[in-house]
Amino acid sequence: MACNLNQTLPLPKSKKDFLSLLFIPPTPFCCWLVAASTSLAAEFFVFLCVDSNSKSGVKMTCFGLCLRGIASPTHNNLTEIDEEISTIENARVYHYKELQAATEDFCPVNKIGKGGFGSVYKGRLKDGRLAAIKVLSVESKQGVKEFLTEIKVISNIEHENLVKLYGCCAEGDHRILVYGYLENNSLAQTLLGGAHSSLQFSWKTRTKICIGVARGLAFLHEEVQPYIVHRDIKASNILLDRDLTPKISDFGLAKLIPADMTHVSTRVAGTLGYLAPEYAIRGQLTRKADVYSFGILLLEIVSGRCNTNKRLPIEQQYLLERAWKLYKKGELIELVDTSLGDDFNVDEACRFLKVSLLCTQVMPKSRPSMSTVVKLLIGEMEVDAEEISEPGMLSDLLSLRSNKNTSSDSLSAGSGKQVDSSSSMNTTMTHGTMTFTSINDRNS
């Protein structure tokens, strides 16, 4: 005789009601599949099998399975992301198929960048806008927290010198950020990348970039509430548009700090060579950590070289150390990029270099605010009126870490190594610099 699958059972509204179903007298020759309501489904699943052919009479076997606490971690993460994104204003959520179509199924020809986080593709959205589509890899060092941080920080602010976030995609296990497309990649690739770029950086262009980045940071530090500390200001995170206007990018490590807090203590994250001493050693984060990083970037832009270069003679390997030595000798002008020839303003170049030394003072309180930096760069304030003392050197930091049983060799490649540590003296290194393919000749 066939099983009676049509028997209607009352829908349980609580765990007590659900458990009471186990004691309903069974109908002979019947199989029941009993499931809780939606609110209970994640906790219980019970299968009742009634067999009247048993020699001992009617026999009911109950197979119970408690599912509480064994939900997939991936499912939990996806739910977390969906909930977080839903609360963020101005964050458009793209479907994966939209971005797949925009990049021609993520065609390798459209790949314009690659790094430890994944890849960046050039794509055209449905509305016709060009976009830089940042696809995080499964093995990405940028996890769910950093993914959400980047969306939260940049979606609600807009400034000429900050990248523009169009939206994101968190469909399935995909983690994708969609930014406005910037034609000329990053400073690391173009200015500091040597023969890899055909762009020419005149002195006027360099001053424009320095002042633009300073204004972007001043906006984050002083015009946004809670204020934002970027934590990873470096050449590879300064992107350039068609007119070589600089845009600060990559807010995955950014910290939002309430105005009533002087500092926060946090894990050390960023890039060696740009890290402020007090932050690298003690994990003490303030806006002055960004000021220090900007000072290093300013030196790189004026000199046209990376802050660390092991191929140079030992006395020239660390850019900040060399700048300080030249400053004490009154020969700071020798640091200016030789490719400029005589085509630069000597007084302006010296001013910029002195500002970089002010920004990198070993004591945070001795560093100017970013709004003051802007005034110093454009000449509204006199830099010679400021006292300049010895800056916080990378070599000193490396020596200190070496004394803590950390190999200095693994920490010395300043412009290309990223720090991410929960302990200031227990640092793991990852490749944090993104590399780009040339797109100067691509059709827009």
The residue ranking higher by pLDDT, 124 or 408, is: 124
| Domains in the chain: ranges and CATH | 86-181 (3.30.200.20), 182-398 (1.10.510.10)
How sure is the predictor about 398, in pLDDT bands with cuts at 50, 70 and 90?
Answer: low
The residue ranking higher by pLDDT, 72 or 311, is: 311
Catalytic member of 82, 173, 232, 250: 232
Whether the predicted pLDDT of 367 surpasses 70: yes
Q: What is the mean pLDDT of residues 181-209?
A: 88
The pLDDT value recorded for residue 268 is 84
Whether the predicted pLDDT of 193 surpasses 90: no
Q: What is the pLDDT of residues 5-56, one digit of tens each?
A: 444 445 555 545 544 544 445 444 344 444 433 334 333 344 444 444 444 4
Whether the predicted pLDDT of 209 surpasses 60: yes
Q: What is the mean pLDDT of residues 188-212?
A: 88
Highest mean pLDDT among 62-71, 112-121, 392-401: 112-121
The pLDDT value recorded for residue 91 is 72
Q: What is the mean pLDDT of residues 104-119?
A: 87
Q: What is the mean pLDDT of residues 255-266?
A: 76
Whether the predicted pLDDT of 150 surpasses 90: no
Q: What is the mean pLDDT of residues 149-161?
A: 88
Whether the predicted pLDDT of 138 surpasses 60: yes
The pLDDT value recorded for residue 148 is 81
The pLDDT value recorded for residue 245 is 97
| Residue 417 marked as a ligand binder | no
Whether the predicted pLDDT of 94 surpasses 80: yes
The pLDDT value recorded for residue 98 is 96
How sure is the predictor about 295, in pLDDT bands with cuts at 50, 70 and 90?
Answer: very high
Q: What is the mean pLDDT of residues 415-426?
A: 47
How sure is the predictor about 95, in pLDDT bands with cuts at 50, 70 and 90?
Answer: very high
Q: What is the mean pLDDT of residues 357-385?
A: 96
Lowest mean pLDDT, pick from 233-247, 267-281, 349-363, 412-426: 412-426
The pLDDT value recorded for residue 266 is 76
Q: What is the mean pLDDT of residues 291-320?
A: 95
Whether the predicted pLDDT of 89 surpasses 90: no
The pLDDT value recorded for residue 410 is 34
Query: If DSSP states are collapsed to H, E and C, what string results for the chain?
Result: CCCCCCCCCCCCCCHHHHHHHHHCCCCCCCEEEEECCHHHHCCEEEEEEEECCCCCCCEEEEEEEECCCCCCHHHHHHHHHHHHHHCCCCCEECCHHHHHHHCCCCCHHHEEEEECCEEEEEEECCCCCEEEEEEECCCCCCCHHHHHHHHHHHHCCCCCCECCEEEEECCCCCCEEEEECCCCCEHHHHCCCHHHCCCCCCHHHHHHHHHHHHHHHHHHHHCCCCEEECCCCCHHHEEECCCCCEEECCCCCCEEECCCCCCEECCEEEECCCCCHHHHHHCEECHHHHHHHHHHHHHHHHHCCCCECCCCCHHHCEHHHHHHHHHHHCCHHHHCCHHHCCCCCHHHHHHHHHHHHHHCECCHHHCCCHHHHHHHHHCCCCHHHCCCCCECCHHHHHHHHHHCCCCHHHHCCCCCEEEEEEECCEEEEEECCCEECCCCCCCC
Whether the predicted pLDDT of 258 surpasses 70: yes
Whether the predicted pLDDT of 220 surpasses 90: yes
pTM of the model: 0.73
Catalytic residue list contains 347: no
The pLDDT value recorded for residue 37 is 39
Whether the predicted pLDDT of 241 surpasses 70: yes
The pLDDT value recorded for residue 14 is 53
The residue ranking higher by pLDDT, 224 or 415, is: 224
